[in-house]
Amino acid sequence: MKVRLIFVAGARPNFMKVAPLMAALHPDERFESILIHTGQHYDDSMSGTFFRELQIPNPQHHLNVGSGSHAQQTAEVMRRLEPVLIDEKPGGVVVVGDVNSTLAGALVAAKLEIPVIHAEAGLRSFDRSMPEEVNRIVTDAISDLLLVTEESGRANLLREGKDPDCIAVVGNLMVDSLRRSLPAALQSDVLHRLGILNSRFGLVTLHRPANVDDEKQLREIASALRLISEELPLYWAVHPRTRTHLEHAGINLGAKIHLLAPLGYLDFLHLQMKCSVVLTDSGGIQEESTVLGIPCLTLRDNTERPITVECGTNRIAGTSRDSILRAWQEDRESPKQGTIPPLWDGHAGERCREAIAKFFAAHMRLEEFSQA
Ligand code: UD1
């Protein structure tokens, strides 16, 4: 008997994790995969492009939840997902990352007594003002199998009382996507389209509510970016929520910060490979820049991905003008070389598949789960 797995994905950073996981599980006779798109992200530039470029199969179900407050968005995913899970009767539900769709998917499944598998479990920023931190803690608390990207994740889960048998350090699915997509990303003509051939530049992304929703904070970061841009032109791929706040505040960024629409995966990877530095508050970009060996200044006071600082090219730059400029200066004086963290080798999907197979073999009668 095949195990029917439902994958829940909803927002941009989910797609590069779901792609290699589904690619590893799909050809395996032991599993049947069904994809649900919650619709948390819905613009083509935030969702459709990623499905095409990462060759993710079309979702069998689309919940079309759209935007809303955290409670509204989470509740809407739960309300619309529950009847689908009741109807599809999966053997397990797979959620990835830390977005509202992750939490909602895990909650619905756990309450229906369907085993929950969480990929990218155990990461902790220890900052509960971040909505993602709350999502991570709750999702992990109710998950049955925890697939972990770095050793800090295992340590955090053990400290929270998780059974060691439920935890598997499998490496990083985002890195699988990155490695698979490098040849196509190298072909991107984005530099040409932006007219930045043969010149050095920095790449910026910013979307955390704590950084962009508060005008004073946004102005603080923008003033540091403006000073940096006097030395190194900056290209800023602007998330829709950030664009709204930048326009509302009417912040003058000067002539050397170039605002771009959200970019596709391959174009963005190309820019990351070619830039001199990345300035970001994203989680995933801290990991990608470490793998690419590009210096990263994280515009936050903490990271849930400490391996990118310990082994990689990441520096925590803080969110004040002075701390960002200090980190920028430090990076220019002594750029971090960095090494690639253990198991970030492009084979996390296969390790996830084997951990999932082991989990079901242990939780089902042997005749129900053939070790094909
Ligand atoms: C979400 C995730 C965050 C992730 C980020 C990546 C949560 C709590 N946050 O934040 O962890 O790093 O995605 O982008 O789940 N919008 C559009 N088009 C879209 C989607 C959103 O215009 O396709 C606008 C809407 O105005 C919306 C706002 O962006 O209100 C924020 O979207 P939302 O999904 O609430 O959170 P993100 O900031 O994208």
The reply to whether 118 belongs to the active site is no
Q: How far is the CA of 278 from the centre of ligand 1 (A)?
A: 21
Q: CB neighbours (10 Å) of residue 301?
A: 14
Q: How far is the CA of 162 from the centre of ligand 1 (A)?
A: 30
Indicate which CATH number applies to the domain containing 122. Answer: 3.40.50.2000
- d(CA 267, CA 249) in angstroms, rounded, equals 28
pLDDT at 168: 98
The atom of ligand 1 lying closest to the CA of 46 is: 23
Q: How far is the CA of 326 from the centre of ligand 1 (A)?
A: 30
Q: Which of 37, 41, 207, 270 is catalytic?
A: 207
**Residue 18 to residues 81, 104, 108, 119, Cα–Cα distance (Å):** 18, 16, 19, 9
Count of structural domains within the chain: 2
Q: Does residue 295 share a domain with residue 230?
A: yes
Q: With the C-alpha atoms ordered 70, 75, 81, 86, is the resulting torsion angle positive or negative?
A: positive
Mean pLDDT of 201-228: 97
Domain assignment of residue 222, given as a range? 182-333
Q: Sheet harboring 257-260: ordered strands across? A: 257-260, 234-237, 202-205, 277-280, 296-298, 314-316
Atom 26 in ligand 1: residue holding the nearest Cα: 241
Q: Does residue 355 share a domain with residue 328?
A: no
Q: Does residue 187 share a domain with residue 163?
A: no
Cβ-contact 60, 183 below 8 angstroms: no
Residue 310 forms part of a structural domain: yes
pLDDT in tens, 43-83: 999 999 999 999 999 999 999 999 999 999 999 999 999 99
Q: Which long-range contacts (CB under 8 A, 24 or more apart) does 332-336 make?
A: 335/295, 336/295, 336/312
pLDDT at 372: 46
Residue 312 forms part of a structural domain: yes
Residue 65 forms part of a structural domain: yes
Residue 296 forms part of a structural domain: yes
Residue 353 forms part of a structural domain: yes
Q: How far is the CA of 361 from the centre of ligand 1 (A)?
A: 37
Rg (C-alpha) for the chain, rounded Å, is 20
pLDDT at 365 over 70: no
Mean pLDDT of 109-122: 98
Residue 177 forms part of a structural domain: no
Q: Does residue 230 share a domain with residue 147?
A: no
pLDDT in tens, 216-266: 999 999 999 999 999 999 999 999 999 999 999 999 999 999 999 999 999
CB-based pocket (< 6 A), ligand 1: 11-13, 40-43, 46, 67, 98-100, 131-132, 207, 239-241
Q: Does residue 40 share a domain with residue 73?
A: yes
Q: Does residue 258 share a domain with residue 284?
A: yes
The pTM (predicted TM-score) of the whole model is 0.96
Q: Are strands 314-316 and 296-298 parallel, antiparallel or unpaired?
A: parallel
Residue 338 forms part of a structural domain: no
Q: Does residue 11 share a domain with residue 100?
A: yes
